[in-house]
Amino acid sequence: EMQFQQAHYDKCVINLREKHKPDMSPVLDYIFSHAQVFKKNILVTMLIDQLCGRDPTLADELMVILNELTQLSKMENSKVALRARQVLIASHLPSYEL
């Protein structure tokens, strides 16, 4: 979804077409993938919940991915970005267990 975060949808498609000028199949892949953004958001949110659950400790690889997810700025990705931020914040809080 990062390809669709910088500008309006039409401008993003034009940028993708310029980037992949000789071969348009990657552009179509991006467009068809973006058409399913709401389903992907649900899936990613469920994966975050499953992987992070109640365990506040996170692997370094997972923290990198969560940081990337927080960079999603479009309204359609807001639930994913919010959930990623919540998990990152929870991982920095001290444990209350003795």
pTM listed for this prediction: 0.77
Alpha-carbon distance 48 to 75, whole Å? 19
What would the mean pLDDT of 32-57 be, rounded to a whole number?
Answer: 87
**Residue 97, pLDDT score:** 63
Question: Could you read off the pLDDT of 63-83 as tens digits, one per residue?
Answer: 899 999 999 988 999 999 999
Amino acid at site 1: E
What is d(CA 52, CA 60) in angstroms, rounded to the nearest whole number? Answer: 13
d(CA 19, CA 23): 9
The answer to whether 56 and 90 have CB atoms below 8 angstroms apart is: yes
Residue 46 in contact with residue 54, Cβ under 8 Å?
no
Which tokens in the block code for residue 49? 């919940």
Helices (H) then strands (E): counts for the chain: 5, 0
Torsions phi, psi of 44, nearest 5? -65, -40
Mean pLDDT, the chain, rounded, equals 87
The pLDDT of residue 47 is: 93
* Residue 70 contacts residue 88 (beta carbons within 8 Å): yes
